Structure 1
Amino acid sequence: MDLQHARAVAVEAAEAAGRLIRTGAGGALGVRAKGRSGDVVTDLDLASEKLLLERVLTAFPSHSVIAEESGLLGARDGEWTWLVDPLDGTNNVAIGLPAYVVGLALCRAGRPVVGVVHDPVAGQTWSAVRGDGALTSSGARLSAPYQPSPHGPLLAWTQGYTVARGDAVVRELKARLEGHARRMLQLWAPLLQWAMLARGDIDGFVGYRAEAVDLPAGALLAREAGIEIRALDGGPFAEGFGGAPEDRSFVAAHPRALPALLDLVR
């Protein structure tokens, strides 16, 4: 398997989907409810996913795909599986907030080996191949800097859609983080927050029972940019898409910033 070729296919597909989304974002979106959590889906999600599936399966017809809206296509336990998030930030698009991205990950035996995040608004793409680093749109190496502030860290938060509003762990975690952070972002677009962490725009990222489809691409991008990711208790974190929701809770930061952040959430 040529992972550089897979990266190129994923980048081209994500950028094509991004053009489709940006063109359609100013028109009628066809917004409707999705599930019971208050989430929504739009016609843009479906059109973007259709394009991505066609590109990926044309290039890799023997691979399986797990897509945000379509679910599983192909064998559940196949060696190679693509994760497709056609529009991460749908709720933002629905209210006219220009904060959304397209995400793709290729996993081998459940572990991401290629990750791509494309921002249609900024016209930027970030991609990573396991063990070979992360790249910007221009082909430059992406390396997260360590730049502490005397006013506290700038943090981001995400949680899964199934997490209850009154979850006691969420209340405690967010209260501790907000009490120590300079700012805490909740953008409804976790892949965008992973890209911000990899670029050094924010200092740390905490997730509680994160969604499985968008986690691997962002986590791989951040790791390959030099970010360290741990479980909430400080133990190892596996950025795959399997396992229970509680296995997808994490703390991520530059290695020099991580100990202080872990002290807050342990």
Structure 2
Amino acid sequence: MRPTPRPSDFAAECRTAVAAAEAAGALLRARFPDGFAARPKGALGDVVTDLDLLAETMVVDRIRADYPHDRVLAEESGDSGGEGGPGRGRTWLVDPLDGSNNVVIGLPVYVVGIALCVEGAPVVGVVHDPVTGRTWSARRGAGARGPAGPLAPAPRPPSPAGPLLAWTQGHAVRRDDPAVRVLRHALELRSRRLLQLWAPLVAWAMLARGDIDGFVGYRAEAIDLPAGALLAREAGVVLRGLDGAEFTAGFTGPDTDRSFVAGRPEILPALLDLVSAATPRPAGPPHSRTTPRTTS
């Protein structure tokens, strides 16, 4: 059995990710909101800008310079090669501009996200906000950090108006998907606010800081899930699947394995109850919420 890597094993990788994200952020900040061109990406309403491409090249080149044998998967260019090094199974995930749709309409809600996964599980996660210049980072087992030091939001009593939640769904999810409509409507009815930011990594950073109470994702995108989930988990957030089982924020496998409920520990039971009541159950024998399931 491969030994579990120690947190200190990834200090250098975290420094590389922070430096790359902040360099890309400086580029994005200098060109926002007017210095770029945009074009449609796919048939589902997504967009890509030349800022995505420039920032991605900058990040990938930095990772390649420090870790030439590692595999790199980037949002726009895909797999740039590498096999994770001999026997190491290391893959970097790069989202150079999470929030491209916001950028195109002049909304300053976007971040740079980078993760390193070993054997499919995130061990380093970095989120950088070019607008404010703030960076949040995490290493597995070593906690999460922000500009002011360790992230450890204090528990707070539930609001009588309901929790403050964020929502995300993958690009492949149809707008008329009945499961999405039921689940999102239930969350909107029972929460104080349900934020839909078009930038999941922004929501993950907010959750890790304690600005919001919970985050629900339905068939989330693979490229940004590991960085955000690791940041939140290392800050004390609890992650579960929609069925309440343990959730591993990996990037492989079908998107049906990337639906999640994440929340502050004091509100997670109520949030799981709400999600459970609004989630259709597959046919078959009943199972306990605590039954582990495998996610990729």
TM-score by length of 1: 0.97
- Are residues 1:257 and 2:254 paired? no
- Are residues 1:146 and 2:162 paired? no
What is the root-mean-square deviation in Å for CA atoms of aligned residues?
1.2
Corresponding residue number in structure 2 for 1:86: 96
Please give the secondary structure, in 1, of the residue aligned with 2:150. coil
Q: Alpha-carbon deviation of 1:76?
A: 6.0
Q: Alpha-carbon deviation of 1:48?
A: 0.2
- Are residues 1:13 and 2:23 paired? no
> Are the counterparts in 1 of residues 56 and 94 from structure 2 also a CA contact under 8 Å?
yes
1:118 to 128, 136, 142: 128
Q: Alpha-carbon deviation of 1:91?
A: 0.2
User: Which AA in structure 2 matches 1:245?
Assistant: D
Q: Alpha-carbon deviation of 1:26?
A: 2.5
Q: Alpha-carbon deviation of 1:222?
A: 0.2
Aligned length: 265
Q: Alpha-carbon deviation of 1:194?
A: 0.2
Q: Alpha-carbon deviation of 1:77?
A: 7.2
- 1:75 & 1:57 partners in 2: Cα distance? 9
- 1:163 & 1:251 partners in 2: Cα distance? 17
1:188-242 C-alpha deviation (Å, 9 max, x unpaired): 0000000000001001000000000000000000000000000001011110101
2:230 to 210, 220, 231: 220
- 2:41 & 2:205 partners in 1: Cα distance? 26
List runs of 5+ in structure 1 lacking aligned partners: none
Corresponding residue number in structure 2 for 1:193: 203
- Are residues 1:104 and 2:119 paired? no
- 1:248 & 1:110 partners in 2: Cα distance? 13
Corresponding residue number in structure 1 for 2:193: 183
Corresponding residue number in structure 1 for 2:293: none
> Are the counterparts in 1 of residues 70 and 84 from structure 2 also a CA contact under 8 Å?
no
Given the superposition, is the C-alpha separation of residues 50 and 77 from structure 1 closer, same or farther in structure 2, using an over 3 Å criterion? closer
- 1:44 & 1:53 partners in 2: Cα distance? 14
- 1:155 & 1:76 partners in 2: Cα distance? 38
1:21-46 C-alpha deviation (Å, 9 max, x unpaired): 01011323211000111000000000
Please give the secondary structure, in 2, of the residue aligned with 1:206. strand
Corresponding residue number in structure 1 for 2:30: 23
> Are the counterparts in 1 of residues 207 and 232 from structure 2 also a CA contact under 8 Å?
yes
> Are the counterparts in 2 of residues 41 and 90 from structure 1 also a CA contact under 8 Å?
yes
Q: Alpha-carbon deviation of 1:137?
A: 2.4
Within 5 Å, which residues of 2 pair with 1:70-85? 70-75=77-82, 79-85=89-95
- 2:84 & 2:223 partners in 1: Cα distance? 16
User: Which AA in structure 2 matches 1:208?
Assistant: Y
User: Which AA in structure 2 matches 1:238?
Assistant: T
Q: Alpha-carbon deviation of 1:125?
A: 0.3
> Are the counterparts in 2 of residues 145 and 254 from structure 1 also a CA contact under 8 Å?
no
Please give the secondary structure, in 2, of the residue aligned with 1:98. coil
> Are the counterparts in 2 of residues 117 and 125 from structure 1 also a CA contact under 8 Å?
yes
